[in-house]
Structure 1
Amino acid sequence: MTRPTAAVPKPPDSAASAASAARSGPGGLLLWCLCDNAGRIAIAVIGGLLYQLALIGLPWCVERAVDQGITVDDPPATLRWAGVIAAVSVAAALGEIVLGWQSTVSATLTGNRLYLRLADRIGVLDEAALDRYGEGDLSMRGTRDVDLMRTWLMGFASFVTGVVGFTVMIIAILGLDPLLAVVGLACVPPLVLINTVLFPKWFGAANADLSAAHGARADAVEELLSASAAVRGLGGERALVERHDERSSHVTRHTLVTARVSASWAAASPFVPGLAIGVGLAVGGLAVLRDDMSIGGIVAFTSWMSMLVLWVGVLTLRLSQLSQARTAARRLVEVFATEPALAGPTNPAPLPVTGDLVADGVAVRREGRTILAPTSLTARPGELVALTGPMASGKTTLLRVLAHLSAPSEGTVRYGAVPLHQAAPDELRARVAYVPQRPVTVSGTLADNLRLGGEFSDEELREACRLAALDDYLAERPDGLETPLGEGGNTLSGGQSQRLALARALLRNPSVLLLDDVTSAVDTETEKAIVERLTSRRDGLTVVFATHRPAVLAAADRVITLEHAAAPAATDEERVSAGG
């Protein structure tokens, strides 16, 4: 495993970036979704128009067949009209296939891209920027809200063609009888009022409250799953359960409110054209008695008005999906609009491949409370520097500051004489790798978790596993690197997850490795193997290891002991001892 010698290339900018489109607000994000797969959506609209026109043409064909084709002495005429009706039905089926297929593919592709853009955005936000969101809330934005956008996209083409079909049906009814057209047009004002003014407003407000309730409940679930073990025996479980129960009741209440609005909307919209059918039958029936209209015309009118009822229901559904999508887009725009507290420099300074990592008097204070007392350290290439100290002394906070994941309240961190706040974020992440005590494992195989989208050979994966002392786990698995790890890596123990995260970091050949107590869940023999393999490397890797384990402290080139954050400030290397 060799050290990289060139700057890490920046990922190419997207010409149609969801993040940049989101700067225009929810409308801009919705427009980006439509433009992202405009070609497929256009094909879906063409298929939908074929479907609509063929469907509308069927009653016209039936009218002609009833009035002209069904005669005692002309069976061929009946067969011709039957053939015409069959052909129109086939055209309608083909149009619907094109509409459904292209709509589904375009919505799925754009939804996936939107999810990736959102994940990329969250990935560049630091701790301070993410504090405004709960983990469960972010999860809901990346799942439920993206799915609502995808559902709206899937129905967009049918909404467009439904509006066209509605217009064509009114024109067709006008050709039957002007009075019937008046009956059909009389439906339009109440339908516009119902579907564009009243119910969208009520439904949008109810759905916004429901989305917020889902986000709050997701946070409570996350707390219940992650914190219950820590408070077990202290009486805290009941408080967490009660919080979850309260927020679940909010979800239930807002779900019922949204369902009532949706049910009322769905019932009110088709009622108007349904009432018009009854009036139209009376008007048309009288016209037939006066010989002003044929029986086939009545059949066509009834069929078109029945379609009108159907498509009003479809349009109502699409408008409710648009309302949901606007709410979802608003929540996604909030994330896209969030800026990192640690903003990247305008003119970044290049970082050397190797160099000293130096912290000069860094301290972290939040809301008047000292999290990390002023601390200084220097970690040179090839060194293993151990950080130790009591709980709440700021070991994790210091590592996050060294990784430029958190900003110090005072002091400066430099790598190779370049202040970290002046370095390009991508280049800094390539040089400095941070492995938390509780790493994240994704669903998939062992290889998936090691690569995480990177281009690495199987041999490189095995070497990284060896350095992290994960090779014994790998050797025991019949599927090797393709071993499935279960949902969220639930088949791994805590120690195996820590070693996997260490291997993942080593695989990327960082110059500096910041380890947050990553051997806390492994046995002493495994811990010894990890330390020996890390220290045996002679390629200039700098390791800063926060730990209280004797084996690591004994192997360290230097040990820095942090005092409790409330105590006088920690100094640098006066409290350092060679080899522990």
Structure 2
Amino acid sequence: MSNRLFDASVAPAAVPEADARGPWAYLWWLVRIRPRPLVLAAVLGALWMVPLALVPLVIGRAIDEAGQDAGQAGLYLWSLLALGLGVLQALAGAGLIQAAVGAEAHALSVTHRVLMRQVVRVGATLRSKARSGDVAASAAADVESIGNAFEVVGRTVGAVVAAVLVAVALTVTSPVLGLAVLIGVPAAVLGIGPLLRPLQERDEEQREQMGIATSQAGDIVAGLRILRGIGGEAVFAERFRRTSQQVRRAGESAGRMEAWLQAAGVLLPGLVTVGIVWFGARLALDGTITAGELVAFYGASAFLTLPVSTATEAAETLSLAKVAAGRVCTLLQLTPATVRPDHPEPLPAGALALADTGTGITAEAGRLTVVTAPADRAGGLADRLGGPGTGGAAAEVRLGGVPLDRADPAEVSARLLRSGPADILFSGTVREELTAGSARPGPALDQALFAADAADVVDALPGGLDARLDEGGRALSGGQRQRLILARALLAAPDVLVLEDPTASVDAHTEARIVARVAALRAGRTTVVLTDSPLWQGAADRVVRLDGQPVPGSTDRSAGVPS
């Protein structure tokens, strides 16, 4: 059911087209489409950080006022100013948290939505274009890394503003000290730079190994029953163990580089602080500055470790975000199998014929056509006939006389449906699974379950239609899953239904019931069944081989004469 499940009409709420030319372009696009949260976070970050930078200067001035004989009025005034700065910092800090979380949520939400939209666009061909582990890791780890980068922006802007303010204030008091700050702080930040590129490379390696491990884990979980049957559990477990060890080693390598980065973030600003305090103490001993100014210098220099550590965190976070955005862009650059033509041809109303000029197969409108094909070619044939996004022969396949490459993919998806062994059941209630979350009439649902001989499957579940299915319907047998998938396809009631071995996992008695009921339910609508089953061939209006020729001895029931 790949076409209907990945119909563009069920895409998430519209968001602008993402700029996927590169990681920085994508991050800047996130900023452009909604700058308000980041601007607010930057303003509040400055209002939060600046009072913290000014408090040492105010305390130093209060100390000098206390040492004078002019009374206590000045001391009280500067003390009240320090209190006011503390209140401002508290209020700005509360607002900063909300603004930063809002910016982070914006990046998380939009990235999730553009990834989901891309999955919908690429559709069933996504599995052949990207590893499932890469998609899962992007939807989890990569999105989180991008969100973290947006969260740190407000604090980083505030740190830069506060550092500049402190440098200016120290320069006014002592040009030499101000110059030391203006040179020392940027030097400390730049000293971290050489560590960023190795960190980024190791993060990329870890991310690649995580994608591989996630894909292998998904394969093992999905095929656990098969692995037990062939005795391959130990082999695949050992394979996953080796991959997980590679992930661990890549993580340890990245962690060591992060540790060096954090150490540099402490050491370099610490050296700047020691130098400024030592020089300020010399000036105080010489009488060039007062005791209060020395305290202000010490407090300001100690404060400078915060902007530098914040800059270190921002550099590390942006490095991780760049890697994550690059992975997201890789997925966004995948191209769908089909593109809507500029001037699509509308499909005719009513029953539709399905013809493939490449193979010579023709399914006449409103009839049940059975196509016999070798097992190794049935899947490829189903891909050709299954509509847009599933094959490369859209120009050779005609639906109602219109080549698929000239039709609107959305209209084709609404009127042509392919269902086969690759279809899966999703987690949720049985009712939601069968109706794809939309409200469908009760009688139509009952008829679909009856035709697929799946009513007993539903009745056996605790809660019936309201019973919850695990991912992939793991608790069901292969035959039960196949019957529910067939019921889902029948309930969709497309004008053309292509079924690939719809009864391969059921016994002959059940298959006989399904064949008769599906033929009755689909009467007057075009149905194509790819199977070698004699039961389907016996119920078909027409049976053809893969080369398009009638099967010897088959009967064309609509004409009433042997084919």
TM-score (norm 1): 0.82
Compute the RMSD of aligned alpha carbons. Answer: 3.7
2:177 alignment partner, one of 175, 180, 184:
180
User: Residues 461 and 70 of structure 1: is their aligned pair in 2 closer, same or farther, counting only changes over 3 Å?
Assistant: farther
Match of 2:49 in 1: 52
Is structure 2 residue 151 aligned with structure 1 residue 154?
yes
Q: 1:387 touches 1:559 (CA, 8 Å); kept in 2? A: yes
> Identity, % of aligned pairs?
28
SS of residue matched to 1:514: strand
Match of 2:4 in 1: none
Is structure 2 residue 50 aligned with structure 1 residue 66?
no
Shift of 1:506: 4.3
Residue by residue over 1:108-167, the C-alpha shift from the partner in whole angstroms, topping out at 9 and shown as x without a partner, is 233222222222223332666753422222322333222222222222332233322332
Is structure 2 residue 114 aligned with structure 1 residue 117?
yes
- Distance in 1 between the 2:207 and 2:174 partners? 48
Match of 2:549 in 1: 571
- Distance in 1 between the 2:382 and 2:472 partners? 25
- Distance in 2 between the 1:12 and 1:554 partners? 44
Q: 1:460 touches 1:507 (CA, 8 Å); kept in 2? A: no
Q: Which letter maps to 1:534?
A: V
Q: Which letter maps to 2:336?
A: P
1:297 alignment partner, one of 285, 293, 296:
293
Shift of 1:429: 0.8
- Distance in 2 between the 1:461 and 1:264 partners? 65
- Distance in 2 between the 1:488 and 1:108 partners? 30
Match of 1:163 in 2: 160
Match of 1:318 in 2: 314
- Distance in 2 between the 1:165 and 1:489 partners? 57
Q: Which letter maps to 1:177?
A: S
Please list, as runs of the form range in 1=range in 2, the aligned pairs for 1:241-260 lying within 5 A after superposition: 241-260=237-256
Residue by residue over 1:188-212, the C-alpha shift from the partner in whole angstroms, topping out at 9 and shown as x without a partner, is 35334334x4122212222222222
Match of 1:330 in 2: 326
- Distance in 2 between the 1:457 and 1:358 partners? 27
Q: 1:270 touches 1:309 (CA, 8 Å); kept in 2? A: yes
- Distance in 2 between the 1:525 and 1:169 partners? 86
Unaligned runs of 5+ in 2: 1-6
TM-score (norm 2): 0.84
User: Residues 572 and 111 of structure 1: is their aligned pair in 2 closer, same or farther, counting only changes over 3 Å?
Assistant: farther
Q: 1:149 touches 1:325 (CA, 8 Å); kept in 2? A: yes
Shift of 1:262: 1.2
2:366 alignment partner, one of 382, 386, 393:
382
Corresponding pairs, count: 550
- Distance in 2 between the 1:28 and 1:289 partners? 54
Q: 1:517 touches 1:546 (CA, 8 Å); kept in 2? A: yes
User: Residues 551 and 295 of structure 1: is their aligned pair in 2 closer, same or farther, counting only changes over 3 Å?
Assistant: farther
User: Residues 232 and 163 of structure 1: is their aligned pair in 2 closer, same or farther, counting only changes over 3 Å?
Assistant: same
Is structure 2 residue 444 aligned with structure 1 residue 435?
no
Match of 2:16 in 1: 16
SS of residue matched to 2:497: strand
1:42 alignment partner, one of 35, 39, 42:
39
Q: Which letter maps to 1:133?
A: A
When structure 1 is superposed on structure 2, of 266-275 and 349-358 the one drifting more is 349-358
User: Residues 291 and 496 of structure 1: is their aligned pair in 2 closer, same or farther, counting only changes over 3 Å?
Assistant: farther
SS of residue matched to 2:262: helix
- Distance in 2 between the 1:8 and 1:48 partners? 41
Shift of 1:342: 4.0
Q: Which letter maps to 1:386?
A: V
User: Residues 297 and 491 of structure 1: is their aligned pair in 2 closer, same or farther, counting only changes over 3 Å?
Assistant: farther
Match of 2:214 in 1: 218
Q: 1:69 touches 1:81 (CA, 8 Å); kept in 2? A: no
Q: 2:56 touches 2:296 (CA, 8 Å); kept in 1? A: yes
Q: Which letter maps to 1:122?
A: V
Q: 1:387 touches 1:547 (CA, 8 Å); kept in 2? A: yes
- Distance in 2 between the 1:314 and 1:481 partners? 54
Q: 2:339 touches 2:409 (CA, 8 Å); kept in 1? A: no
SS of residue matched to 1:544: strand
Match of 1:369 in 2: none
SS of residue matched to 1:543: strand
Q: 1:383 touches 1:557 (CA, 8 Å); kept in 2? A: yes
- Distance in 1 between the 2:416 and 2:145 partners? 38
Residue by residue over 1:37-56, the C-alpha shift from the partner in whole angstroms, topping out at 9 and shown as x without a partner, is 21222222222121122222
Shift of 1:255: 1.3
Is structure 2 residue 494 aligned with structure 1 residue 510?
yes
Q: 1:559 touches 1:575 (CA, 8 Å); kept in 2? A: no
- Distance in 2 between the 1:460 and 1:17 partners? 41
Match of 1:3 in 2: none
Q: Which letter maps to 2:313?
A: L
User: Residues 387 and 104 of structure 1: is their aligned pair in 2 closer, same or farther, counting only changes over 3 Å?
Assistant: farther
Q: 1:26 touches 1:329 (CA, 8 Å); kept in 2? A: yes
User: Residues 414 and 88 of structure 1: is their aligned pair in 2 closer, same or farther, counting only changes over 3 Å?
Assistant: same
SS of residue matched to 1:190: helix
Please list, as runs of the form range in 1=range in 2, the aligned pairs for 1:52-131 lying within 5 A after superposition: 52-68=49-65, 81-125=78-122, 130-131=127-128
- Distance in 1 between the 2:124 and 2:31 partners? 33
- Distance in 2 between the 1:230 and 1:54 partners? 64
Q: 1:110 touches 1:150 (CA, 8 Å); kept in 2? A: yes
Residue by residue over 1:54-102, the C-alpha shift from the partner in whole angstroms, topping out at 9 and shown as x without a partner, is 2223223322333336999977776665554343223222222222222
1:557 alignment partner, one of 520, 541, 552:
541
